[in-house]
Amino acid sequence: MGGFTFDLEACARPNIVALQPYRCARDDYKDDGSNTLLDANENSYGPSLSMDLSVDHEIGGRTLRLAGLNRYPDPHQIELKQLLCNLRQPSDPLATLTPDNLFVGVGSDEAIDGLIRCFCIPGVDKILVCPPTYGMYTVAAQVNDVEVVKVPLEVEGVSPSFDIQPAKIREKLESDPRIKLVYICSPGNPTGKLVDPDRLKAVLECNWNGVIILDEAYIDFASHGKSLAHWVNDYPNLVVMQTLSKAFGMAGIRLGFAFAPPGIARLLNNLKAPYNVSSLTSTLAAHAVSKTGLEVMGSHRELILQQRDRLVRELPKISRIGRFLGGYDANFLLVEILNSPRSIGGQPDNEAARAVYSQLAEAKGIVVRYRGNELGCTGCLRITVGTEQETTKLLAKLEEVFREDR
């Protein structure tokens, strides 16, 4: 697919293409459990934990061995990568995802930063983002001394669509060869809207030698089968990032992953620290995407979707709640706060939204996110969908805030 030939070596930084990854003795001699390991300067007496380390903990049929924490984790994570491939495996057997398509790291943020380091020369190259969007793309670019070019989502008109604008993106890319990466969030943050696949194809088929990164952190809250991870087999310049922090409820273990064509995945794996994913993280992640873990995730997701639907029904009954902007494909909603009741012509207002944000946190014990300063999000709060009890509390406390504000 695509109307151009992607040249990975011409796109990536020459020093990264030439980089020889760190190797250890266990790359040459795999540990089968019977070897005496005196190669990595580990502490052979075990971890300094005051507990019974001889007791293994069973989690969903997988053994969590605290006694092994004195050993470095698997630097390649092949078993975990295969489970992640199984999670997004396409129905087409010719488009099979394999561990060669994967990078795993410390949340999606490691992949965001790693891609910039792979492809962007500091002080020379640029990335392109589509605001309003996730702020870490810009933060990572600034850390790496990389300029940020912005092509906003569609925000014009009375009701912004928050769609990407392929024609404007292509114009930027085809006129500026220093733009090496494009970060697109789907479902968007803070918009909660999926990217139209046809619009994404229009960007992928641009005559430009760079990489498109699709951030699917919230994809499991969208309709089933919406992930485009398998597209990395069709487009040589596409990377699809995902995470276990959201639908899988594993934010504390910090496990993110990026599906990519093998050449790009290889560069990311060469660049990373040798033992970036801990043994505890990989064991817990493997359980989360096992059959048992997927059943738990599915049941929790269903509860979240029920509460999302409840908020969509109940929030508009509050007179100073305006429209829902964006989409309904994530575990949050982007909601307008009005400066007066709808019945007397209230309008979305940043001062009103900031006041509600502060009052909820300081007086009511509920923390949401103020997003009014984002493009197209005037007067907006981003509200994460919680449990049934948390949703009940939120609705009641919002009513209190608006009564007290009269």
pLDDT at 153: 98
Residue type (1 letter), 359:
Q
Counting every residue written for the chain, the total comes to 406
Q: What is the CATH number of the domain that holds 331?
A: 3.90.1150.10
Tell me, yes or no, whether 158 and 65 share the same domain. no
CB atoms inside a 10 Å sphere around CB 324: 18
Tell me, yes or no, whether 96 and 215 share the same domain. yes
Asked if the structure places residue 65 within a domain, the reply is yes
HSE-up of residue 116 (Cα within 13 Å, Cβ side)? 27
Which of 289, 316, 340 is where one domain is finished?
289
Tell me, yes or no, whether 180 and 198 share the same domain. yes
Tell me, yes or no, whether 96 and 189 share the same domain. yes
Q: Are 216 and 186 in contact (CB under 8 A)?
A: yes
Residue type (1 letter), 160:
P
Helices (H), 97-247: 107-119, 136-143, 166-175, 197-204
Asked if the structure places residue 160 within a domain, the reply is yes
pLDDT at 384: 98
Asked if the structure places residue 3 within a domain, the reply is no
For residue 336, the cross-strand partners are 380
Asked if the structure places residue 115 within a domain, the reply is yes
| Integer angstrom CA distances of residue 392 from 1, 300, 301 | 48, 18, 18
Global confidence as pTM: 0.93
Token digits for 175? 């006129």
Tell me, yes or no, whether 274 and 307 share the same domain. no
Per DSSP, the residues of 275-306 read: T-S-HHHHHHHHHHTSHHHHHHHHHHHHHHHH
Asked if the structure places residue 1 within a domain, the reply is no
| Per-residue pLDDT of the chain in tens (406 residues, 90 and over written 9) | 544 689 999 999 999 999 988 888 877 777 677 788 878 888 888 778 777 767 777 766 667 766 778 888 888 999 999 999 999 998 777 679 999 999 999 999 999 999 999 999 999 999 999 999 999 999 999 999 999 999 999 998 778 899 999 999 999 999 999 999 999 999 999 999 999 999 999 999 998 999 999 999 999 999 877 999 999 999 999 999 999 999 999 999 999 999 999 999 999 999 999 899 999 999 999 999 999 999 999 999 999 999 999 999 999 999 999 999 999 999 999 999 999 999 999 999 999 999 999 999 999 999 999 999 999 999 999 999 999 999 999 999 999 999 876 6
Asked if the structure places residue 326 within a domain, the reply is yes
Tell me, yes or no, whether 193 and 99 share the same domain. yes
Q: Are 132 and 376 in contact (CB under 8 A)?
A: yes
Helix (H, G, I), strand (E, B) or coil at 233: helix
pLDDT at 195: 97
pLDDT at 52: 73
Asked if the structure places residue 2 within a domain, the reply is no
Q: Are 363 and 279 in contact (CB under 8 A)?
A: no
Tell me, yes or no, whether 393 and 330 share the same domain. yes
Asked if the structure places residue 187 within a domain, the reply is yes
Helix (H, G, I), strand (E, B) or coil at 184: strand
Tell me, yes or no, whether 299 and 236 share the same domain. no
Place of tokens 């004195």: 70
Helix (H, G, I), strand (E, B) or coil at 339: coil
What is the greatest pairwise CA distance in the chain? 78
Which of 289, 323, 355 is where one domain is finished?
289
Tell me, yes or no, whether 250 and 386 share the same domain. no
Which of 289, 313, 335 is where one domain is finished?
289
Quote the DSSP letter at residue 93.
Answer: G
Quote the DSSP letter at residue 326.
Answer: S
Angle between helices 262-271 and 107-119 (to 10 degrees): 100
pLDDT at 406: 64
Tell me, yes or no, whether 161 and 267 share the same domain. yes
Place of tokens 């060869």: 177
pLDDT at 93: 73
Q: Are 289 and 87 in contact (CB under 8 A)?
A: yes
Token digits for 98? 């394999």
Say how many domains are in the chain: 3
Tell me, yes or no, whether 45 and 86 share the same domain. no
Tell me, yes or no, whether 56 and 130 share the same domain. no
Q: What is the CATH number of the domain that holds 96?
A: 3.40.640.10
Say how far residue 392 (Cα) sits from the centre of its chain: 28
Q: Which domain holds residue 49?
A: 25-71
d(CA 311, CA 73): 43
